[in-house]
Amino acid sequence: MRPPSIILSGARCFVGGRFEICSLKLIDGFIREIAPSFRATTKDLVLNLEGTAILPGLINAHDHLEFNLFKKIGTPPYPNYVSWGEDIHKQHKDYIEQVLRVPLGLRLLWGAYKNIFSGATTVVHHNKFYFDFLFGYPVDVLRNYAWIHSLALDDKLEKKLTSRKARPCIIHLAEGVDDFARSELTRLVEIGGLTKHTVLVHGIGLSLGDLAQIEDAGASLVWCPSSNDFLFHQTAPVNQAMGRFRIALGTDSTLTGNSSLFDEIRRGLQVEQVRPLDALAMVTSSPADIFGIRKGEIAEGRAADLLLYDCEEGDPLKGFVDLDVSKIKCLLRNGVPLYGDTSVVHSLQASGTYTSMEVLKKKKMVRGDLAGLMQSISRHLPAFDFNALPIEIEVSPKA
């Protein structure tokens, strides 16, 4: 028996690099067909989505999922990441230990909700791949990757370089504004670390000559403008790099970055005058290409990871730039609602546990027991400010 179809009808979908009015047929968690319209049967679930735009579920290309219970700490600006690390472990030792006493599973789960409320269904985590990501974790986490913290702070640098194989190898690099940071790409080249599989994160200290070497190697960059601006009052030379190699956008953790990928997008538009279409690529097709993820586009045969948002004013690209958590109509992962308007979640007949909430006076639901998670975190970290999430909510668990 054919599983029931979900038909998303009449929305402005970002297909093939532009927005066009069309309908999507979802079956068993995949986009099975794209057409101007469909003739529905009595078994189909049909959502009329006029006034709605649809993007691929966003990809956050850089986060430390276990570190999103932290507030920003430090007394910037710093010359480089080593100086920042030494300073915060001296000045904020007790606070860091307090947050890290919260069980890892709770911290990881909070990181997932941070991303859900940013429209992201996929996250590139910069640390080891935890067992928690395999079963019941609300968002997809890249699994096929190698990672190096940095040239200065990774005690397994040589071993990781020799064992990375033909998969993305992520490394913090040139994270700073002094000679130490500016010399890191040269050192990476000397030890054979710059290849087409290398994914550099931050890159504030990169010179024009460094950009040419990255281009020649076919390597990539992940840009975190808010984190860079906070720590160093400067960011990567993205304008000079655009079109030369692949660039994606990430939030970093709340230790230094924003709690919302939407805010990160706007920050990127502001500090480097990136065009909205380029910013959209940085959270969809570019990270999908960099990390070999079969997502980041609306296409037949792809997973139904979709971001539906209000677009009644008529310009879906402006709607993308102005997005916040209140404007998300529904976020789907494999065709299942992760978050959205209560009416839409109910229309999709979603099963399982959801938390009901109000976001800026709009009735919403999010998958899982968010209220229970918040209560558990509070027992370990009573002073935590839940407004660190990019939402204002009152929650009550609802199955």
Closest CA to 223 of 337, 61, 370: 61
pLDDT digits (tens, 9 = 90+) for 295-340: 999 999 999 999 999 986 779 999 999 999 999 999 999 999 999 9
* CATH T-level topology, domain 59-291: TIM Barrel (3.20.20)
Helix (H) or strand (E) holding 108: helix 104-116
Q: How many CA atoms lie within 13 A of 339 on its CB side?
A: 28
In the three-class reduction of DSSP (H, G, I as helix; E, B as strand; rest coil), residue 2 is classed as coil
DSSP code, position 42? T
Does the N-terminal peptide bond of residue 77 adopt cis geometry, omega within 30 degrees of 0? Answer: yes
Q: Provide the residue ranges of all domains of the chain, joining segments of one domain with +.
A: 59-291
- CA atoms of 20 and 11, how far apart (whole Å): 8
pLDDT digits (tens, 9 = 90+) for 62-100: 999 999 999 999 999 999 999 999 999 999 999 999 999
- CA atoms of 115 and 122, how far apart (whole Å): 8
Give the long-range contacts of residues 207-210, CB within 8 A, separation 24 or more.
207/182, 208/237, 208/240, 210/174, 210/185
Percent of the chain residues topping a pLDDT of 90: 85
- CA atoms of 137 and 65, how far apart (whole Å): 12
Closest CA to 47 of 30, 23, 31: 23
First vs last Cα of the chain: how many Å apart?
Answer: 28
Residue keyed to tokens 């109910």: 346
- pLDDT over 70 at 1, yes or no: no
Would you call 197 exposed, middle or buried from its count of C-beta atoms within 10 A (0-12, 13-18, 19+)? buried
Find the mean pLDDT for residues 114-136.
96
pLDDT digits (tens, 9 = 90+) for 173-201: 999 999 999 999 999 999 999 999 999 99
pLDDT value, residue 189: 96
The answer to whether the CB of 269 falls within 8 A of the CB of 279 is yes
Residue 376: CB atoms within 10 A of its CB come to 17
